[in-house]
A and B are shown apart, each in its own frame.
Chain A
């Protein structure tokens, strides 16, 4: 195996982040406790550094390490989203970790390592690389969810996440093993050539497709594989929930798309049916069960299940329009969901987190700016113009109609209308009622920057999306070696 310098240069961003993660682990033992916030600044700086390095690689498609790893505009776009999500998460986490008394250096190292895992996922050109990326990300998240060691809920959530994550990884691997058995290769493009002419091995291929689909559905938390989502989102520290519900899900969508469009596109008729079922069930569960939630983190968890349903509709037809719709959707989804979690994690009542929906009642009277920011996120999540969420849904529904599934778009619109009810209920509670609980909105300067960024982008993407549309249109290329 030749060891050329191009391979190293192409993976420099990942190498930087791994290195900086190790540096954080060492720095953590050397700096005094009251200067811990330096680690947060260091994390942000290293993420921006890697972001610039990734941007420099933005160009033609390039297979590295004999096709194990692929650099293309598509993966670069997803990496940019993951960097931004990680940066905003760190902005939110500084005051939060101090208050919850879990301010430890490992947290920042785990953020960087899980970011590397997601980057490996979206760049994977081979199922081995893909599996390692998924595991690197998941192992970091298992620990981060259980960071509040003294809290029953946090550790229990961590255990549930671990159990179901390991379970789904085993199912996913079993699927890979059958794909390998039928084709004799693990590269994504190698499998594609075989799927086009499966011959008598069709059943093995189908088994492989179904099992890998189950593995991905676990990661994007689509119904009926969503059981862990509400529990884990509720129990985890809120910053981690925000990071998990955006970055990890977006990375999973990226790799889901790459594997199914490149490897399995010849067998589209079979898996299209599965994705239709997956997306209808997700919208059903996400929008109906969310109505009766009293905890806002659980409600946002169901909302994220519903959004997984909308976004997976864009996977049905492999063409540029669907690709654009999905990329725009995850871009908007990242800002609005992360922002909503950002508001939740800054609400405090008598020494604990204000995470009940009743804590939001009358927020407008006490903290008008916080209430207005939450209104922006809720309107956007509900898909009301002129916010980003509306345009995202609009593009997805159009792509679905052009793919020949007009009835599915109608189903989606009906569920979006049902879903709008529970988002608007929150807005109503914030604005129409008098405050009941003694909840305070406790934002630090870094948290304010994060909220400004997320809310600003949510509005901006709805009002003037042109620059971002242009950027996404320039990234619509999946490289196939």
Chain B
């Protein structure tokens, strides 16, 4: 049986990849994908912990997370489309009207 630490290592690596992607990448669609990677890292974690704790709760939670992620992508893509209509670009650096 694969030890639990491997799963946690995998999910942490995925989460970090997503986190760094959100912070570094400039294309909004890629940023959206990176957020999805982060959410999927969470799912790996939940399923692995659930298996090793012998409790089913978290595997059900994973379904909720998947559903919410889908809703989030739908809204996110909608917002990106309306931004693209206004600005003709999906580059984050072009969205700079509001400043600190």
Contacts and interface: CB of A to CB of B under 8 A. Distances in A.
Query: Which of B46, B75, B98 has most A Cβ within 10 Å?
Result: B98
B83 A156 contact: yes
A177 B42 contact: yes
A146 B55 CA distance: 41
Interface string A120-153: 0000000010011001000100110010011011
Interface size class of B (residues with CB under 8 A): 35 or more
B45 A177 contact: yes
A162 B95 CA distance: 14
Interface in B1-58: 8, 11, 15, 18, 22, 28, 31, 35, 38-39, 41-42, 45-46, 48-50, 53, 55, 57-58
Contacts of A176: 42
Nearest to A233: B98
B86 A155 contact: yes
A223 to B, nearest CB: 13
A234 B99 CA distance: 10
A interface, by DSSP: helix, strand, loop or mixed? Answer: helix
Contact of B39 (A173, A184, A185, A230): A173
A156 B97 contact: yes
A166 B11 CA distance: 18
Given A158-B79, A230-B100, A170 B42 contact: yes
A186 B56 CA distance: 11
A459 interface: no
A131 B65 CA distance: 9
Interface string B62-92: 0011001001100110111011001100000
A142 B82 contact: no
A210 B54 CA distance: 26
Contacts of B11: 177
Nearest to A182: B49
Contacts of A158: 79
A160 interface: yes
A156 B95 contact: yes
A186 B80 CA distance: 34
A65 to B, nearest CB: 13
A285 to B, nearest CB: 11
A401 B75 CA distance: 45
A149 B99 CA distance: 20
Contact of B79 (A152, A155, A235): A155
A174 B57 contact: no
5 contacts: A128-B64, A155-B82, A155-B86, A159-B83, A227-B100
Interface of A: 128, 131-132, 135, 139, 142-143, 146, 149-150, 152-153, 155-160, 162-163, 166-167, 169-171, 173-174, 176-178, 180-181, 184-186, 227, 230-231, 234-235
Interface of B: 8, 11, 15, 18, 22, 28, 31, 35, 38-39, 41-42, 45-46, 48-50, 53, 55, 57-58, 60-61, 64-65, 68, 71-72, 75-76, 78-80, 82-83, 86-87, 95, 97-100
Q: Which 4 pairs show the lowest CB-CB distances between chains A and B?
A: A181-B49, A170-B38, A177-B45, A231-B98
